[in-house]
A and B are shown apart, each in its own frame.
Chain A
Amino acid sequence: MRAVPKRRLSSFVVEQRFCKSCEICVALCPKKLLAMENKRPVISDPGECTLCRICEIHCPDLAIELEESADE
């Protein structure tokens, strides 16, 4: 059986100019990885991110952009 490469979060970027600090991303993250710092969300443990993209999809300001890469 071939191993499936694990996808991982390679970057979590918040466009500071767009974010209006509504905290929806913080509330919706299923793994509670986000918290507000200086009115902007930051991710505590990127390795735990499952790339569900719920934060990205539900950011009303389109401020969040995730990039993923596959482990070799």
Chain B
Amino acid sequence: MSETRYMQGNEAMAEGAFAAGARFFAGYPITPSSEIAEIASRRLPAIGGIYMQMEDELASMAAIIGASLAGRKSFTATSGPGFSLMQENLGLAKMLEVPCVLINVQRSGPSTGLATRPAQGDVMMARWGTHGDSSVIVLCPATVQDCFDLTVRAFGLAEKFRTPVIVLGDETVAHLREKVEIPDAGSFDVYERPAPPADGEYLPAGGGDDGVSPLAVLGGRPLLHVTSSMHDATGRTNNEPANAAWLIRRLWNKIEKHADEVISTRTFGDEDAALLLVSYGGSARAARSALDLLGEAGCRARLLELLTLWPFPAQLIREESRNRRLVAVPEMNLGQLVREVRGCSESPVLSVCKSNGEPLEPQEILDGIKEALR
């Protein structure tokens, strides 16, 4: 059973977090994500949760790590400039293997840029913004329903893989109002954190070559030791090269080697269409309409909508790109995801870019493709 609502994307992300059991938010207001903080400040204390407005985004990311280690599902929300400040502690969350969710509602940059206007310029940053080798899970909503569903999913993946998960929205979807079905509490699964055995040997950073260990909770048994320094399975500092090779590789593999459990996509249009569009987020909505315009212009097309940006679904795109006349990648940046598509596409790739703070429109996708096909 569910309730039919007309809701804004930001609100749907917040509600998705609460539905998944999040009971701690720490953040700093920033356009265009401030609605999430405001909603969290009102809703959380009424349901036994805690809202903290930290002094900056460095503290926000640090606080949600602390809260998660103390046993509360936690999240934060920000946009580009704040996302930049969060990188170091995002890396901390990766190294300590702390489940948490970071919502980044992309806006036009670089730097302060156009605070109220959309872009999709943080795609690569979401993957590579933290220093060193690491992996990350990045989910990308294209509809307000996705805002709810993917945020719920993000919390489950965070717990399952003991990792921060980024929900990478953009201003168009975040400020969009549309229909969403909110499932009744208890009617859907939420992945809960497994507990380690209270006695016996506990290896907080164990997990073989590509797995994770259950995370002990601060305040319980066994005692938890986590460190940002290179460490071995016991969680204590270890400087041996062989150990470093193992840990760096395990943190990478635990996500990359399980990409099929994380990747999620949606398709529209005929499988054997000559034209393939690969898109995500706000651009994907324009691409959906562009399929109709292309059809009217006599060009059948298929749309592959990515709900997971990272790990990047290279194998899927390799398969989808076979025997196409063209693979077009519309996005609101100067060409970020297209670089990954070029790396695995078996057909020629066209980048359809827009980076001026305005949403990408269906006609612009049509025009870009027509220009290339001339």
Q: Are A and B close enough to touch in the complex, i.e. CB under 8 Å?
A: no
Task: Enumerate chain A interface residues (CB-CB to B < 8 A).
Answer: none
